[in-house]
Amino acid sequence: MTDSPALLRLHVQGSRLTRLVAPTVHVDDAEHPVGFGANHIAVAPGVARLRCESAWAGTATRVDLEVTARAGETVDVWYSLPSPRAPQGLLALEPVRSRSFATVVAIVAVVVLLVVLAGVLPVLIGGA
């Protein structure tokens, strides 16, 4: 009787809005196609070697993680794409917090504020 496979549920954090190309994922040297969000990869029970590769700032990046899974078990793994805060990307057994979206929102808010002030200040100064 053979053991039932284990399952890796790889959560690729990010979206097509932030990255045009999904990362390349290898489990025990076999390549697996993945997209953004949850990806299910069947693996043999025991230790699985997970490698995620992506491009960042014109450079190929790579992060590795060994995961142990029992037969029939599902192990959640999170991959955060490279960013200024983590130029290699992050691969972990818990969700990875990314400040990239918050940074973009803050920059847009500052630009909008400056545009509004540039339009309002001359009216306030000239009208007073």
Segment 82-105, tens digit of pLDDT: 887 788 889 999 998 765 666 677
Q: Angle CA(65)–CA(37)–CA(43) in degrees, nearest 5?
A: 45
Q: Locate the DSSP E strands across the chain.
A: 6-13, 24-27, 30-32, 37-43, 46-56, 59-69, 74-80, 90-92
How distant is the alpha carbon of residue 110 from its chain centre? 25
What is the C-alpha to C-alpha distance for residues 110 and 76, in angstroms, rounded to an integer? Answer: 37
Alpha-carbon distances, residue 42 vs 1, 9, 39, 52, 56 (angstroms)? 18, 9, 10, 16, 28
* Amino acid (1-letter code) at residue 12: V
Structure tokens at 117: 């002030």
**How does residue 68 score in pLDDT terms, banded at 50, 70 and 90?**
very high
What is the C-alpha to C-alpha distance for residues 93 and 80, in angstroms, rounded to an integer? Answer: 11
**How does residue 128 score in pLDDT terms, banded at 50, 70 and 90?**
low
Q: Give the pLDDT of residue 17.
A: 67
**How does residue 5 score in pLDDT terms, banded at 50, 70 and 90?**
very high
**How does residue 34 score in pLDDT terms, banded at 50, 70 and 90?**
very high
